[in-house]
Amino acid sequence: MTWNLRGGGNPWGRGPDRRDTALDEKVKNWQRRIESLLNPASETTGSLAGTVALVAIALWLGSGFFQVGAAERGVLLRFGSVVEVRGEGAGWHFPWPIETLRKVNVMNVATKEYSPTVLTADSGLIDLRVDVQYRRADPLKFLFSVRDPEETLREVSDSAIRQVVGRGRLSDVLAGAERPQLTARAKALIQSRLDEYGTGIEITSVNLTDVEVPDAVVAAQRDANKAVADRGRDIEDAQAYADSILPSAQGDADKIREDAAAYKARVVALAQGNASLFSQVEAAYARAPEVTRERIYLETMEDIFARADKVLVEPKAGAGGNLIYLPLDKLIGHGATAPSEADAQPAPPPAANPPSSDTETVTVEGDRSRGQR
């Protein structure tokens, strides 16, 4: 039996209804919507999540790129352990949390200001303002040797300033003449202690920008400053006086030395002359003793009588008689050649303590032979 009828109809009855087909399509659409709500892992959702994941991975890898400046040093850490120190230039490292890069500026000069109150060696109280300039010379020590390098710098600087200034005098700190020496000693002391701690900090300069006396001691300090000024003025006056009197004293000293040299030459020459005369007399005495003794006696008596204006002539021993007194000064004054009878009178006996006179008196005994006095 032929099933394929003309027109494609159903041999048992009528053909398919179009309204049934449209209803089936609507049911299938509702089924697909319900399935999409109950199962979110659809193709569209899966593609979006993958895209987001790829973007996140790209950003994470991109965060590993870095640039180190000319004045910087980059310390690369891998899981907290130092790998290397990078210099100037660009590079890439595994991003966090695998690797991290910490940059340290080793050329920049930073400044820390401190204002300690210090007691000097002479019990003076002053307020200081100190500027400490430094740079981070060693990045590894700066990052890992101490917990807080800049706090360590503050404590070390405060201690060093107190030690150095505390050993000086108040006048030296206020006057400013000793400040360069104080700051130099403070810089050396701070640097040595920072090196002991291994901070990696290099001190470039220490400056005393301001020195003030607290208000409570201003009056006393004013008096002390006045005393210092008076002391300086007195020193200058004393130096001026010394400069004025020193040439005169040097001239007097030179004159005294010259007089002493002349006196020495005169005395030495006189002594040498006397020694030569004595040698000559000694030689003459050795050749003619009697003649030499007579000549010496006559020269001695001549010298004595030349300086005497009174002569006492004693009589011979045991013969008695009067003491003859010859006033030569009167005889010489009147031009007489011989004493008169009135003048040749016995002299009174000598007193126990005869008065002193500027003239010499010569006593001649009558029984003495020539050559005896």
Greater confidence (58 vs 342) lies with 58
Comparing CA positions, the residue from 369, 173, 371, 224 lying closest to residue 289 is 371
Q: Is the pLDDT of residue 273 over 50?
A: yes
- Rg (C-alpha) for the chain, rounded Å, is 66
- pLDDT tens digits, one per residue of 30-46: 666 655 555 555 545 55
pLDDT the model gives residue 34:
59
Give the span between the Cα atoms of 207 and 131, in whole angstroms. 5
DSSP 121-159: TTS-EEEEEEEEEEEE--HHHHHHTSS-HHHHHHHHHHH
Residues 164 and 122: beta-carbon distance below 8 Å: no
pLDDT the model gives residue 4:
47
DSSP bridge pairs for 205: 133
DSSP bridge pairs for 86: 74
Question: Any residues with CB less than 8 A from the CB of 359 and at least 6 apart, and which?
Answer: 308, 309, 310, 329
Strands 125-136 and 117-119: antiparallel
In the chain, what percentage of residues exceed pLDDT 90?
A: 12
Mean pLDDT (the chain, rounded): 76
Q: How many CB atoms lie within 10 A of CB 118?
A: 21
Q: Is the pLDDT of residue 216 over 90?
A: no
Q: Which two tokens stand for residue 37?
A: 């709500």
Q: Is the peptide bond before 97 cis (omega within 30 degrees of 0)?
A: yes
Q: What per-residue string of b and e applies to 243-274 under the rule 16 or more CB within 10 Å gives b?
A: eeeeeeeeeeeeeeeeeeeeeeeeeeeeeeee
* Element holding 65 (H helix, E strand): strand 65-68
pLDDT the model gives residue 193:
92
Give the span between the Cα atoms of 143 and 60, in whole angstroms. 26
The mean pLDDT of 339-355, rounded to a whole number, is: 45
Is the pTM for the entire model greater than 0.75? no
The mean pLDDT of 234-255, rounded to a whole number, is: 89
DSSP bridge pairs for 118: 126
Label residue 17 by pLDDT band (50, 70, 90): low
Residues 325 and 310: beta-carbon distance below 8 Å: yes
